[in-house]
A and B are shown apart, each in its own frame.
Chain A
């Protein structure tokens, strides 16, 4: 169980996240929806700890000062000040926005890099990843940078899965994908939850394909969480309908 309480993140004097509280129960899919600049990515960075890394780098080069308040609690342990690699060891794995795959390594190598934390289950995980993303099987020895956008996204999710996460953070997994690929990715999210019992937190702008599969969702606007609820309640909410479905 992952809990974020009263999270506030400042980029210099700009408030990127304002008092967001979020709970993700073990083995559930949680959706975080919002437009550009709503603070989804910052939320993802804060949960995975990358924000601490960005903070350090900005401080080194004398850039913006990043301040983080609030708590991130994972399995009743306070992990607010843990570094990203320590959080990854605990099982919180981020699949970053724009994929960030290693473009000069082959698909297989990309997956193996992901398996660094859990070498013992490498074979089992690889089998599972190739099972949910059969398209990757044909390109195992191809360079990651030469894959199409959709295949790169599958690879990025696959790489995150190779670490045997207990919480999987997906930042904009549908970015730039065709409806066909969107469906594959959404199906894979369902499958990951069903077979592996992994908690999945999805941050996405396109709510329409994701909302039906989530267990619980949050709508974020300008850094604050304005609405939360189950899949059905969000689907039937008139505001959500007009803002995200264009009805």
Chain B
């Protein structure tokens, strides 16, 4: 009996386009660029396509916010090795900063968003500095505790508007700016981070994830590298938080909610960790899904959880990793 096995082979075009000759033909340029164009074009067309469904245009904003937080989680977890459940903290800190800047100090909206992202990034990095030594589940627990801590502080001391939150933030001039601002931010962060993790500092970060002792032995300050990574991640998170506060025209305790910590993790797991695009793809699936399921009332969470479980059990590698493989490789049966 002749044994047969399934063989995976890189497509010829992949082998060729990986090299210098990618510019030699239109087909090969498209092979490299098409997936990226699809994503960019798709996102840019989304508000136009949904022009007739104003409710879903709001969903796009939320989707992008979740995607950005998921990217920040994916970056920290799979490229630096810090499992950070602080999505809620980033959103809350960013939101409150922009509320203070815009509502109290009357700084215009397009300055308050970047400024609060910067301040929030510094603030969160300082908070995390003492626990950068921690690894794995210990770091996760600390980062999970911070949002709860801030919720209770604001509640108990009745500062920053207390349980009512800060109201009276400026809204965006019109809905197109609202849509396209967050889409552009998402795309810039997505491609920027993908570039960053392949730069020198990205290599060092991945090395820290694999084996921080060897990195120390190479004469690199691990805490410094980690704090840079945490700053980048919290900057991104705070940016989306500031945007969200302006979208709701309100910064309240619900910005610290656990949703912002947990849902991005689910998105990364569904989309495939370690690819950054996976976080976006995961959010593209999970956020609309959760909106669709509102139709089912209280059963929503049940169906949502079941779908999530099915995803994880059947395709635990993540959709994006699976698709990338199918795109670059084909399979055939060969004789052994």
Contact = CB atoms under 8 A, between A and B. Distances in A.
A13 B321 contact: no
Contact of B325 (A10, A62, A69): A62
Contact of B8 (A12, A61, A69): A12
A9 to B, nearest CB: 11
B44 to A, nearest CB: 30
B264 interface: no
Interface in B291-336: 316-318, 321-322, 325, 336
A69 B321 contact: no
Interface residues of A, number: 10
A67 B272 CA distance: 24
Contact of B336 (A8, A12, A61, A62): A8
A65 B331 CA distance: 11
Contacts of A13: 7-9
Contact of B318 (A10, A62, A67, A69): A62
A10 B321 CA distance: 21
- Classify chain B: how many residues form its interface, as a range: 10 to 19
B213 to A, nearest CB: 14
A80 B291 CA distance: 48
A134 B278 CA distance: 54
Contacts of A60: 316-317
B36 interface: no
A13 B316 CA distance: 23
Interface string B272-299: 1000000000000000000000000000
B3 interface: yes
Contacts of B9: 13
B317 A65 contact: no
Contacts of A61: 316-317, 321
B58 to A, nearest CB: 34
Contacts of B7: 13
A207 B236 CA distance: 56
Contacts of B5: 10, 67, 69
User: Which residue among A10, A12, A60, A61 has the maximum number of chain B CB atoms within 10 Å of its CB?
Assistant: A61
Contacts of A10: 5
Contacts of B6: 65, 67
23 contacts: A8-B3, A8-B336, A10-B5, A13-B7, A13-B8, A13-B9, A60-B316, A60-B317, A61-B316, A61-B317, A61-B321, A62-B272, A62-B317, A62-B318, A62-B321, A62-B322, A62-B325, A65-B6, A65-B8, A67-B5, A67-B6, A69-B5, A69-B336
Interface of A: 8, 10, 12-13, 60-62, 65, 67, 69
Given A13-B9, A69-B5, 7 more contacts: A60-B316, A60-B317, A61-B317, A61-B321, A62-B272, A67-B6, A69-B3
The list of the 4 closest CB pairs from A to B, nearest first, reads A62-B317, A62-B321, A67-B5, A60-B316
Interface of B: 3, 5-9, 272, 316-318, 321-322, 325, 336
